[in-house]
A and B are shown apart, each in its own frame.
Chain A
């Protein structure tokens, strides 16, 4: 890399960081629920799914509360008035059936963006430190393993995609789905001697996924006045097309994490060929 390119790149990065910092500090000193940043929607606390889960009884929470009195919540406004049914209820916690997903992507979506960045940086560090050091050649696997890994790879890929597409319905989500996809690529790398992992393609896919994540957040910022706010209508709980932005973001995270981890694994095996 030329020196001038490096200097211009770091200058642009510095400007972006300073602008973002100014933006965040402005947000910190604005009064809550008065300025432009905070109020997303008028949240009705009765509609919170977590309250039903705290009571460990989703279907009969209101009955349970009626029999146990006020000892759980001093404020009577918090008592859930409706019960939650799969395929019928709407707008509880942004319509996601999996409560963990609803917290990870909706309440702390910005934190998830930070997690993805941390993973990215750690993969870069790993490949820089260990990649290319491997000198010992792997032993040739047997015929059964070679055939089996070629046969199993699409199934593993499909399973990973299933995990992150159903992130808002069942346990799972973007990170486990991406890890499963990376394990499929690891199987190919170990099982097939001739397999070459296309590192440049995976890097492009990964950067595009990261860009999509940030741009979804920016669309939320323009539409609902808050970064990573949900701008898609939340459907009915339990359906595939529900939970609005959660499913979209989990698909993006799954692709990004899968590409990242498999790039790391491939670079550990083959070493850095560019240098």
Chain B
């Protein structure tokens, strides 16, 4: 139990660090959103589950919390990205493909 918990927390902390790094490093809103969502989803998810493994009395509660995070964070960041794309926030210069633009252009 203890070893599984420590491994999970290590994975979570690593992903959170990478997400924070990406938030500084990435050029535009969409890439930053992508890195930060990965950090919250996988980072927070495995940290919380790991805490549950360290203290087995909390395990069910932590699984419920982690499931809630797993459900909400991707939906909210998807909606943020979609809304900012519709609002017209520009992509970075290095981006070469924008499939969503052509798709929505055909539809509307």
Contacts and interface: CB of A to CB of B under 8 A. Distances in A.
A155 B79 contact: no
A159 B64 CA distance: 11
Contacts of A141: 79
A152 interface: yes
Contact of B71 (A139, A142, A148, A159): A148
B57 interface: no
A142 B82 contact: yes
Interface footprint category on A: 10 to 19
Interface residues of B, number: 8
A237 B15 CA distance: 41
B58 interface: no
A145 B75 contact: yes
B78 A151 contact: no
B68 A148 contact: no
Contacts of A148: 71-72, 75
B104 to A, nearest CB: 10
Interface in B41-85: 68, 71-72, 75, 78-79, 82
B72 A142 contact: no
Contacts of B75: 144-145, 148, 152
A221 to B, nearest CB: 40
Interface string A130-150: 000000000101101100100
A139 to B, nearest CB: 8
A139 B86 CA distance: 11
A139 B68 CA distance: 26
Interface in A50-78: none
B78 A155 contact: no
A159 B68 CA distance: 10
A155 B71 contact: yes
B72 A152 contact: yes
Contacts of A159: 68
A152 B71 contact: yes
Nearest to A162: B64
Given A142-B82, A144-B75, 14 more contacts: A139-B86, A141-B79, A142-B78, A144-B78, A144-B79, A145-B79, A148-B72, A148-B75, A151-B71, A152-B72, A152-B75, A155-B68, A155-B71, A159-B68
21 contacts: A139-B86, A141-B79, A142-B78, A142-B79, A142-B82, A144-B75, A144-B78, A144-B79, A145-B75, A145-B78, A145-B79, A148-B71, A148-B72, A148-B75, A151-B71, A152-B71, A152-B72, A152-B75, A155-B68, A155-B71, A159-B68
Interface of B: 68, 71-72, 75, 78-79, 82, 86
Nearest 3 interchain pairs by C-beta: A148-B75, A144-B78, A145-B79
